């Protein structure tokens, strides 16, 4: 928190905070795991607002209280949501805003916030935008080839860690196997009917099969009871120190995976920001193509033209065949250039441009032999 208070941009001044009791430095968005009335009060005292799910929302609110709103999501889409707001007092006497969302199936999601300045629709958009963080790993597996960087090294677990007892696991496995076998025998026993004419030989054969199946069921019942009794007398979980060395568990090393996950998160957030910039330049019916356009840009050819004298590194992107997409990319190139980003390990400032927008360039770069 001290680092956030120091580094989050756009925070109000101390004078502004003193003049407005409802003003906050910034809003911290988190899930139910961080739900704590005491923590909410401490953060409010530090002038930091919270936005989270209500862990104990209680009964549903009347349907007639909900109204439809147009909510602008974090990635730029406008969606219709049914929302309603009330004030709520927590167990420690702290008053918050409670906003509820009702989906198409009638399920209600309760959201709490100590930010009294944020619009109702912005509260809903900010809370549900967390899914972009929770789903980014799935997206990365589909669109980025970074998983191969993760090492599959293992490291020991602490000896005090409680794990599933291997002996209990073995008995559980045997119990499931016997239960499956018994179920199959029982189905076979029930389906074995005497459909042939009543003749001594056929009846005798049928009785022998029935008797054999009955014997199998009796044997399986006895074995299953013995295994269940042994399982009931065996501890389900034990400290790792009580497990034989050859049966002890290990865990995957988390160091390299944490690094890879960080790279994935940064890449995904950067792509989301670029897609939002492109979406604004596309017509209403084509805005869903923004992310696909960005993804195609990553795999397209480009020229790198360093100019040490000017201190620039020009990235000349190939001109797309679609004029609509070309205009969107041209706008994106201009916005990326304005960031004044330097290429890593150099002092060269990145300049992005389409080949066709350069002086003397033809409309189709293929005509120039690029």
- Contact residues for 64 (Cβ-Cβ < 8 A; gap 6+): none
Q: What integer pLDDT is reported at residue 276 of this predicted model?
A: 84
Domain boundaries, the chain: 2-130, 162-252, 300-370
Instruction: Single out the residue of 167, 159, 169 nearest to residue 250, CA to CA.
Output: 159
Please give the backbone phi and psi of residue 307, each rounded to the nearest 5 degrees, phi first.
-135, 90
Contacts of residue 17, Cβ cutoff 8 Å, sequence gap at least 6: 23, 25, 47
Structural contact between residues 157 and 250, judged by C-beta atoms closer than 8 angstroms? yes
Sign of the alpha-carbon dihedral angle for 294, 296, 297, 298: positive
Sheet with strand 302-307: strands edge to edge: 302-307, 312-317, 349-354
* Contact predicate 162/237, CB 8 Å: yes
Query: Distance between CA atoms of 214 and 245, rounded to whole angstroms?
Result: 43
Could you report how far apart the first and last alpha carbons of the chain are, in Å? Answer: 51
Which tokens in the block code for residue 138? 């799935």
What residue has token string 């050859």? 246
* CB count in 10 Å sphere of residue 124: 24
Asked whether the beta carbons of 253 and 153 are under 8 A apart, the reply is yes
Q: Taking Cα atoms as reference points, which of 154, 54, 126 lies closest to residue 96?
A: 54
Instruction: Please tell me the distance from the alpha carbon of residue 229 to that of residue 121, in angstroms, as a whole number.
Output: 57
Q: What is the pLDDT of residue 151?
A: 53
What gap in Å lies between CA 250 and CA 152, rounded to an integer?
12
Give the C-alpha separation, 352 to 337, whole Å.
6
CA distances from 28 to 121, 123, 311 (A): 17, 12, 39
| Residue 286 confidence (pLDDT) | 79
pLDDT by residue for the chain (370 residues), tens only, comes to 889 998 888 899 999 999 999 999 999 998 888 899 999 999 999 999 999 999 889 899 999 999 999 998 766 678 899 999 999 999 999 999 999 999 988 999 999 999 999 999 999 988 887 766 666 656 655 655 555 555 555 667 777 888 888 889 899 999 999 999 989 888 888 887 766 666 677 777 777 888 888 888 888 999 999 999 999 999 998 888 888 887 776 655 555 666 777 777 788 888 888 888 888 888 877 777 888 888 888 887 889 999 999 999 999 988 877 787 788 888 889 988 998 999 988 889 999 998 865 554 444 444 333 3
Q: Do the beta carbons of residue 140 and residue 267 sit within 8 Å?
A: yes
pLDDT given at position 256: 62
* pLDDT, position 150: 54
Q: Give residue 361's pLDDT.
A: 47
The string of DSSP codes covering 179-224 is HHHHHHHHHHHHH----S---HHHHHHHHHHHHHHHHHHHHHHHHH
Q: CB count, 10 Å around CB of 282?
A: 19
Token look-up 């290429």 returns 343
Check residue 344 and report its DSSP letter: T
Instruction: Write down the pLDDT at residue 110.
Output: 93
């Amino acid at each position: 928190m001290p680092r956030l208070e120091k580094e989050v941009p756009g925070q109000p001044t101390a004078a502004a905070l003193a003049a407005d009791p409802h003003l906050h430095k910034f809003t911290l968005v988190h899930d139910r795991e961080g739900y704590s009335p005491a923590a909410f009060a401490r953060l409010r005292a530090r002038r930091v607002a919270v936005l989270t799910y209500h862990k104990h929302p209680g009964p549903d609110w009347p349907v007639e209280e909900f109204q439809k709103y147009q909510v602008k999501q974090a990635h730029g889409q406008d969606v219709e949501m049914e929302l309603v707001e009330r004030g709520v007092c927590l167990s420690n006497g702290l008053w918050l805003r409670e906003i509820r969302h009702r989906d198409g199936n009638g399920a209600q999601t309760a959201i709490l916030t100590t930010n009294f300045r944020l619009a109702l629709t912005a509260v809903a958009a900010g809370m549900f935008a967390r899914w972009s963080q929770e789903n980014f790993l799935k997206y990365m597996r589909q669109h980025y080839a970074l998983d191969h960087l993760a090492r599959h090294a293992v490291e020991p677990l602490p000896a005090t860690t409680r794990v599933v007892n291997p002996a209990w696991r073995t008995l559980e496995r045997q119990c499931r196997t016997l239960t499956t076998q018994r179920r199959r025998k029982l189905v076979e026993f029930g389906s074995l009917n005497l459909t042939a004419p009543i003749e001594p030989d056929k009846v005798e054969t049928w009785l022998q099969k029935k008797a054999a199946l009955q014997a199998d069921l009796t044997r399986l019942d006895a074995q299953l009871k013995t295994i269940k009794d042994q399982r009931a007398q065996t501890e389900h979980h034990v400290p790792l120190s009580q497990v034989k060395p050859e049966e002890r568990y290990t865990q995957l090393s988390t160091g390299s995976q944490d690094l890879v996950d960080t790279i994935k998160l940064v890449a995904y957030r950067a792509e989301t920001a670029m897609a939002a910039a492109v979406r604004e330049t596309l017509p209403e019916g084509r805005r869903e193509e923004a992310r696909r356009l960005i993804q195609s840009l990553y795999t397209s050819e480009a020229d790198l033209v360093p100019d040490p004298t000017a201190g620039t590194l020009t990235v000349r992107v190939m001109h797309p065949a679609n004029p609509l997409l070309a205009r969107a990319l041209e706008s994106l190139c201009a916005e990326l250039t304005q960031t004044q980003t330097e290429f890593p390990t150099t002092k060269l400032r990145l300049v992005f441009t389409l080949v066709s927008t350069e002086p003397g360039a033809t409309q189709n770069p293929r005509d120039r032999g690029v």
